[in-house]
Structure 1
């Protein structure tokens, strides 16, 4: 099993634990034990309610010559939906790393009903995935795990569309 799959499962497990900590201020530091999952099938069998939904993936032309971009999408734009949130970040590493990042809408409170999500990742190669790990289209919450393999730089922009 590759390191990236292990990171995915650790992030999912961490999210499940975080969701059970009702009333905890998410801005404060919370210590959580990390559990390394060696077998994805075994982990899924022990958590029958866990559903991973892979987002659609399309390569896109990148701005920088050495970088590549990948677009992940979920859902569809509909009449009267609007951009309800966006977030972005850039990460640079001294050596190639497998990157695993969780993005969530809304970060706090109750959001609009999600209709469409688009995430564009720019990295050294186009290897990676994005999975919905909680919530989803038609709900007021969505949490997505983004993975990139062996990259020295990683940037993403996430756009969330929804209706009230």
Structure 2
């Protein structure tokens, strides 16, 4: 399925999304942004959250000219299924450093996370993704995605669990 077309999918499960950039928009696709958390440096984030274990996700570069980056963690297992997904797009008038924090579930107890896949589309391939809490084999996960010097950022996150 064409990724750009799949971005129009509606978020099926509850997720928390926090966005930061030099020029933070006040709304995205007509919806107000409720919370903005600036994450200038992942190492500073870890220092300010004692006990946080930063786990780098596997980064795969797209061979296509779309400038997409695929981040994965864990793997599909027998009996798991898609338990949440989310997507959003951000545009800026000039290049920005963007940080995005995704969390599953938004509240309560989720399924045991088996696999996470995030595909980001941006102007370049500069950036990384880190697990900052929870993780594979746990009932929650929080991920920080970073993209540098981009005026366009779009993502699709898929969470699998059992």
Output the TM-score relative to the length of structure 1. Answer: 0.70
Equivalence map 1:1-164=2 (5 Å): 40=43, 44=47, 49-62=51-64, 65=65, 67-163=66-162
- Displacement of 1:107 after TM fit? 1.4
Greater helix share, structure number: 1
- Displacement of 1:130 after TM fit? 0.2
**Root mean square deviation, CA, Å:** 2.7
- Displacement of 1:40 after TM fit? 4.0
1:162 and 1:61 map into 2 onto residues whose CA distance is: 29
- How many aligned residue pairs are there? 129
Runs of 4+ aligned residues of structure 1 deviating over 2 Å after TM superposition are 29-32, 34-37
Unaligned runs of 5+ in 2: 1-19, 21-33
Output the TM-score relative to the length of structure 2. Answer: 0.71
